């Protein structure tokens, strides 16, 4: 990424699942709680992992399609979603984990940059996971996929994060693991980082050239180095402790 672009960054937005936390085992558990409750077979972790990224409603639709089940009135979808939410809130991160180096990265970036989370996971579930991960106190705002039309690759959540943090889109760095993150950043006008871990296929959409980082430590070092070289005062607008 061009140095001038990095020097302009005033805040950072992170994807959640596959970027900050390896939550696929928890998503897998919550999905199977609902499937078994509905008298269906459980699915394996690899299958669940391949479905992660579009929020729980899309996850459940993929599961129903996997079993060849039509749900014209949406009742089964609603039942599975309620079981999914209940299971997630009961144990937000009991099966998964925070990726190595993420806690140190978030704590290191928190001082110079206000941080947001932009995720297709519904906000109340995202906050529960962040709380269980010990990351929520460092996050100024959480923008979840509470409305279908706002899900990434829509730019809506990123634009909302920028407004909350009082930064322009080109001052907000998006960090994610999937093409949906890259496309949302492009639509919002935000610079973007593609991490070298997570669940995304890492195939680049045409016309997008993200900054690739191989580890949380690399991102921390580069961003803090840019901040120190520019000797910028930290932006504090919108920051709060939970």
Tens of pLDDT, residue by residue over 113-140, are: 999 999 999 999 999 999 999 999 999 9
The pTM of the full predicted model, rounded to 2 decimals, is 0.91
Q: What is the DSSP string of 67-109?
A: TT---TTSHHHHHHHHHHHHHHHHSTTSSSEEPTTHHHHHHHH
CATH class of this structure's domain 24-90: mainly alpha
Q: Hey, where are the domains in the chain?
A: 3-22+97-230, 24-90
* Catalytic residue positions, numbered: 15
Question: What are the pLDDT digits (tens) for 139-198?
Answer: 999 999 999 999 999 999 999 999 999 999 999 999 999 999 999 999 999 999 999 999
CB 172 within 8 A of CB 185: no
Would you say domain 3-22+97-230 falls under CATH 3.30.420.40? no
């Amino acid at each position: 990424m061009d140095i001038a672009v990095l020097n302009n960054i005033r805040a950072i937005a992170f994807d959640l699942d596959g970027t900050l936390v390896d939550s696929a085992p928890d998503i897998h558990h919550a999905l199977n709680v609902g499937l078994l409750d509905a008298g269906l077979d459980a699915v394996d972790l690899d299958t669940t992992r391949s479905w992660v990224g579009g929020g729980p409603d899309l996850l459940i639709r993929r599961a129903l399609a996997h079993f060849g089940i039509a749900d014209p009135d949406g009742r089964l979808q609603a039942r599975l979603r309620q079981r999914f939410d209940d299971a997630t809130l009961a144990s937000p991160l009991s099966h998964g984990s925070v990726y190595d180096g993420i806690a140190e990265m978030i704590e290191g970036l928190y001082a110079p940059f206000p941080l947001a989370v932009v995720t297709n996971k519904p906000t109340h579930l995202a906050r529960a996971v962040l709380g269980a991960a010990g990351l929520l106190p460092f996050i100024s705002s959480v923008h979840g996929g509470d409305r279908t039309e706002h899900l990434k690759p829509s730019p809506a959540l990123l634009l909302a994060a920028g407004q909350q943090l009082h930064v322009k889109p080109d001052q907000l760095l998006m960090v994610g693991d999937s093409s949906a993150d890259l496309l949302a950043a492009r639509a919002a006008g935000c610079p973007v980082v593609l991490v070298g871990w997570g669940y995304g296929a890492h195939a680049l959409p045409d016309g997008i050239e993200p900054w690739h980082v191989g580890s949380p430590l690399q991102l921390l070092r580069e961003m803090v180095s840019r901040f120190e070289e520019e000797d910028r005062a930290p932006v504090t607008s919108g920051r709060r402790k939970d």
